[in-house]
Amino acid sequence: MTRQQVRARIEEIGIIPAIRVSSPEDALFAAEAVSAGGIPIVEVTMTVPGAIEVIRSLVANRPGVIVGAGTVWNTGTAKQCMDAGANFLTITGFDPHIVEVANAASVVVIPGALTPTEVMMAWKAGSDFVKIFPCAQMGGPSYIKTLKSPYPQIPMIASGGVNEQNLAEYIEAGVSAAGIGAHLIPRKAIELRQASRIHQLAARCLRIVKEVRTPSTNGQ
């Protein structure tokens, strides 16, 4: 997929499932479960053991899934992830060098930011989205609304504390997508291999996004 297609797909789905587990096997199970549940996007964080090989395997075996690399720490790791086929990179903070490397490779890049200054800097550097992290600790949806007021043109992704209960508020606040981790992919569901539980959570989150967006899509 092209950079533009990946970006459009993320906006369309509105959810980026973040996989933070303790083994490659758990990561593959989580990715397959959430994609089978209707969300064809997964972010494999670099805290997962063997994360780059997990990305490589998913890219090779799940062609319909957009596979991203999360918590990318430096340009060397960014290049390894892109070589493995990652469709997007997310950064917990703002590193202009990683943004530059991703731009050079025409790969979607989503740096983290918190303050208005950081958001502006991340966007001007050439980011596709700006991830507001940690969002809940700063006021959640109300903070997103505050940032969107001066920066309506910047597509933002809420991350940190997003769950099924507050997802609608974040979408209403104007985020392009929300990053959701353990609330969508519970640790217990991974341990017990409860794929159906993850399917149900994925379906509910997708329904929330669709229901919130439908009025603005249909117009008056």
CATH code for the domain of 172:
3.20.20.70
Residue 74 within a domain? yes
- The one-digit pLDDT tens for each residue of the chain (220 residues) are 899 999 999 999 999 999 999 999 999 999 999 999 999 999 999 999 999 999 999 999 999 999 999 999 999 999 999 999 999 999 999 999 999 999 999 999 999 999 999 999 999 999 999 999 999 999 999 999 999 999 999 999 999 999 999 999 999 999 999 999 999 999 999 999 999 999 999 999 999 999 999 965 444 4
Q: Is the peptide bond before 134 cis (omega within 30 degrees of 0)?
A: yes
Q: Are 164 and 208 in contact (CB under 8 A)?
A: yes
Using the CB atoms, write b or e for 45-71: b if 16+ within 10 Å: bbebeebbebbbbbbeebeebbbbbbb
Q: Is 11 known to be catalytic? A: no
Give the whole-angstrom CA distance, residue 135 versus residue 62: 31
Q: What is the span of the domain harbouring residue 151?
A: 3-209
* DSSP H or E run through 41: strand 41-45
- Which residue out of 12, 43, 124, 188 is catalytically annotated? 43
Q: Is the pTM of this model over 0.85?
A: yes
- Which residue out of 11, 12, 100, 131 is catalytically annotated? 131
Residue 216 within a domain? no
Residue 218 within a domain? no
Q: Is 25 known to be catalytic? A: no
Work out how many domains the chain is built from and give that number: 1
